């Protein structure tokens, strides 16, 4: 849950909609977020995350970093870096590189993508070192119907959905490459909502999203997100429930 909340900077009784992207185009951007933990009267900053997007001749280059605060390290330490390249235009992923240090375990996944008709082909190289120093490696090839994303490119996929043309309870779906498996992502548009954050009020699209796999119908609890309606549609708030308490990811307004 913590890992998914840090990245993705989105299902019941809904009408399924095809995930057709809007005309939103991205320029260079650099966004910062704080991760907070809330349980009863406890409300503390548990970590931070940042994402940077740069437009280059060969595509969009993106990098996401996430880390927990020292007090949270004692519970579950996170030091993650995700980087990738996406095509100009539709922002489909071309390369995904994930390096994670979590709970004294290290993982490194690299995915190279190719496209054939309506399918994405993912060539995956995986490396894992557990707490005892045991090393495992694996090379696999997976394929999925489009739209298909990973845990970095999904951040832009969600922002490009045409919420302005959707009715509440409309669902968009995508396949998402997650480590050694392919999961299903369902994104439900709940409607418009005005929220206050950082002393400002924002008009937002409110969504909730859920992951599932072939074996498990819902492999995560629903998570909520609020996406600003104007500009580049920055997700300014994400919220998810934990077994005890909840996690929020909140946008840091740039200092002038």
Half-sphere exposure of 221 (CA within 13 A, CB side): 11
Counting the structural domains of the chain, the total is: 1
User: What pLDDT is stored for residue 211 in this prediction?
Assistant: 83
In a domain, 183, yes or no: yes
Residue span of the structural domain in which 128 resides: 2-251
Residue-level pLDDT at 214: 55
C-beta of residue 209 within 8 angstroms of C-beta of residue 203: no
Q: What is the pLDDT of residue 220?
A: 55
* C-beta atoms surrounding 150 within 10 Å: 27
Query: Residue 104: what pLDDT?
Result: 80
192 assigned to some structural domain: yes
Domain membership of residue 139 (yes or no) is yes
Judge whether 59 lies within some domain: yes
Q: Is residue 111 part of a domain?
A: yes
User: Has residue 216 been placed in a domain?
Assistant: yes
Query: Quick check: is 256 in a domain?
Result: no
- 34 belongs to a structural domain: yes
Token pair of 207, please? 């969504």
pLDDT < 70 stretches in the chain: 1-23, 213-220, 256
- Measure the CA–CA gap between 233 and 55, rounded to whole angstroms: 17
* Residue among 146, 99, 143, 97 at smallest CA distance from 123: 143
Question: In terms of DSSP H, where are the helices of the chain?
Answer: 2-7, 70-76, 154-159
Q: Is 177 left (phi over 0), alpha (psi -120 to 50) or beta?
A: beta
**Phi and psi at residue 140, in whole multiples of 5°?**
-140, 160
Q: Measured on CA atoms in the order 177, 105, 79, 207, is the torsion positive or negative?
A: positive
């Amino acid at each position: 849950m913590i890992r998914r909340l840090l990245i993705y900077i989105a299902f019941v009784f809904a009408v399924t909609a095809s995930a057709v992207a809007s005309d939103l185009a991205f320029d260079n951007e650099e966004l910062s977020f704080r991760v907070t933990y809330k349980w009863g009267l406890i409300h503390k900053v548990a970590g931070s995350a940042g994402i940077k997007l740069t437009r280059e001749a060969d595509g969009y280059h993106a990098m996401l970093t996430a880390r927990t605060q020292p007090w949270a390290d004692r519970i579950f330490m996170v030091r993650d870096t995700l980087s990738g390249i996406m095509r100009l235009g539709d922002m489909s992923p071309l390369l995904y590189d994930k390096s994670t240090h979590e709970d004294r375990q290290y993982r490194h996944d690299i995915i190279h993508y190719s496209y054939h008709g309506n399918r994405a082909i993912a060539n995956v190289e995986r490396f894992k070192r557990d707490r005892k120093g045991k090393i495992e490696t694996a090379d696999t090839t997976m394929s999925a119907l489009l739209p298909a994303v990973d845990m970095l490119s999904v951040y832009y996929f969600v922002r490009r959905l045409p919420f302005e043309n959707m009715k509440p309870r409309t669902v968009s779906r995508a396949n998402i490459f997650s480590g050694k498996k392919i999961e299903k992502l369902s994104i439900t548009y709940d409607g418009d909502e005005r929220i206050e954050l950082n002393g400002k009020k924002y008009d937002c699209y409110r969504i909730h999203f859920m992951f599932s796999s072939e074996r498990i119908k819902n492999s995560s609890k629903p998570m909520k997100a609020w996406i600003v309606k104007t500009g580049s549609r920055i997700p300014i708030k994400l919220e998810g429930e934990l077994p005890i308490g909840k996690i929020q990811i909140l946008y840091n307004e740039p200092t002038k």
